[in-house]
Structure 1
Amino acid sequence: MGKLTGKTAVVTGASSGIGAAVAEHLANEGANVVLAARRKDKLDGVVSKINGNAIAVVTDMAKKSDVDDLAKRAIEEFGQVDIYVNNAGAVLGSRIQDGQTENWDQMIDTNIKGVLYGINSTLPGMLERSSGHVVNIASVSGLEVNKVSAVYSATKFAVHALSMSLEKELARTGVRVTNISPGQVDTAIASKPSDREPLKADDIAKAVVYAVTQPDYVNVNEITVRPV
């Protein structure tokens, strides 16, 4: 029996990369897993590889109605949501002087508003049960900024700030909050190569599992994972 047997987790951005790895690792610990992303074919492919109870729900995290429907479907299928992993994210052109306002809108809508919509859709139930765990996947780009990452970094700074504030809001409610900031990860949306070997998606998934399998009285608030 896994450490998460009987628990239900929603993982956004789960059609590939970090999200797919997180879903697989949570399922390996016995959790029911609800995978969300925009690409149905990719989602179905990930679900087919998971050994356990898993369903796919096509979701655009920038649309509140989609995110609300995702939570509703998870509850209909498995009864409640115990773990919500906000992983979906957009990494697009971020230099301010380039004026790529459509890119900015997409990153803000997905990386910030999508996180808020996800929390809003499931937090009331967690508070009612005095139990639950919100995991926000931020980025080291939310801790450090370079000359080409302005808007993307701003959105990840926002995720970090939301995580810190939410943890304080929820103190002594039984609902835990973890912010995970990965360094460069070898995924389809990875940034330009560096002189370090990139992390693997599994490395971030293991950090998620570590946080959500701690005893109920332990709240792992912050994890930063970097390549050596």
Structure 2
Amino acid sequence: MTRELEGKVAAVTGAASGIGLASSAAMLAAGARVVMIDRDASALAGLRGQYGDAVSPVVIDLLDPTDCATLLPRVLDAAGRLDILHANAGSYLGGDLVDARTDAIDRMLNLNVNVVMKNVRDVLPHMIERGAGDIIVTSSLAAHYPTPWEPVYASSKWAIDCFVQTVRRQVFKHGIRVGAISPGPVVTALIADWPAEKLKEARESGSLLEPAEVADVIMFMLTRPRGMTIRDVVMLPTNFDL
């Protein structure tokens, strides 16, 4: 891979696993310094050992409002500036609405919607002052289709997709690009609570994506000429509709 992000600083939330880890690895390979943000301190320590000084591990519990508010100051302490934010951290809640615990609903909506909004809001003044920046939010195919087995999760992604598109229109004049990556089902911990038969069927039919495939598309979004914004990419396995 060419080092298309040489000299850039990226921050990735939910960076210790899944799409966040794959995104971090792709940006590191492209020459970026990556501030990997997660609540899993041991996983981050291992990744620092694996990738070396190009990684700055930052342990933050994004669901704690006080801790969440430290994201930008801690990124700046670690790397001096911020060029790219990949707001990736999220959780999944599927199944019938009547079976969902209300505390689980609150937690998922907080992480998938409120935290993303706060993280983006907090980094914008820094990017506006510098006159440039890229923000990518991990959305979902569920933001574009009323998925009947995940009404709460799908609603959170519909909300964040609207947020991405409206904020993009506010900040493009400052040289900041905002876009969403909306994959179909990806092999991550977020689908661990899928019914076993559904997961088995999806694997056997080739209707799941790998995190590295999502990261490849994120890199495509980040490396377009500055006059082009890839505002939303919907990607799904070819066999998804089988």
TM-score greater than 0.5 by the shorter chain: yes
Question: Cα offset for 1:127?
Answer: 0.7
Pairwise CA RMSD: 1.5
Q: Match of 2:213, as an amino acid?
A: D
Any conservation in 1 of the 2:180–2:233 contact (CA below 8 Å)? yes
Is the counterpart of residue 175 in structure 1 residue 197 in structure 2?
no
Of 204, 207, 224, the residue aligned with 1:214 is 224
Summarize deviations over 1:62-117 as a string: whole Å, max 9, x none: 23322221211111121111100010001124532124101101111100011011
2: distance between equivalents of 1:206 and 1:48?
24
Question: Cα offset for 1:183?
Answer: 0.6
Any conservation in 2 of the 1:8–1:81 contact (CA below 8 Å)? yes
2: distance between equivalents of 1:53 and 1:221?
28
Matches within 5 A, 1:95-114: 95-114=96-115
* Bigger fraction of residues in helix: 2
Summarize deviations over 1:105-155 as a string: whole Å, max 9, x none: 111110001101110221101011110011000001111123320111110
Q: Which runs of 5+ in 2 are unaligned?
A: none
2: distance between equivalents of 1:18 and 1:227?
15
1: distance between equivalents of 2:118 and 2:29?
27
Q: How many residue pairs get matched?
A: 228
SS of corresponding position for 1:219: coil
Q: Match of 2:65, as an amino acid?
A: K
Paired residue for 1:203?
Answer: 213
Matches within 5 A, 1:156-167: 156-167=157-168
Q: Percent identity?
A: 29
Paired residue for 1:56?
Answer: 57
Any conservation in 2 of the 1:18–1:201 contact (CA below 8 Å)? yes
Q: Which runs of 5+ in 1 are unaligned?
A: none
Any conservation in 2 of the 1:180–1:222 contact (CA below 8 Å)? yes
2: distance between equivalents of 1:52 and 1:227?
35
2: distance between equivalents of 1:159 and 1:8?
24
Question: Cα offset for 1:52?
Answer: 5.4
2: distance between equivalents of 1:64 and 1:221?
28
| TM-score (structure 2 length as normaliser) | 0.89
Paired residue for 2:153?
Answer: 152
SS of corresponding position for 1:90: coil
Any conservation in 2 of the 1:134–1:176 contact (CA below 8 Å)? yes
1: distance between equivalents of 2:163 and 2:71?
21
Describe the shift of the 1:76–1:141 C-alpha distance in structure 2 as closer, same or farther (beyond 3 A): same
Matches within 5 A, 1:1-16: 2-16=3-17
Q: Which is worse superposed, 196-205 or 23-32?
A: 196-205
2: distance between equivalents of 1:83 and 1:67?
18
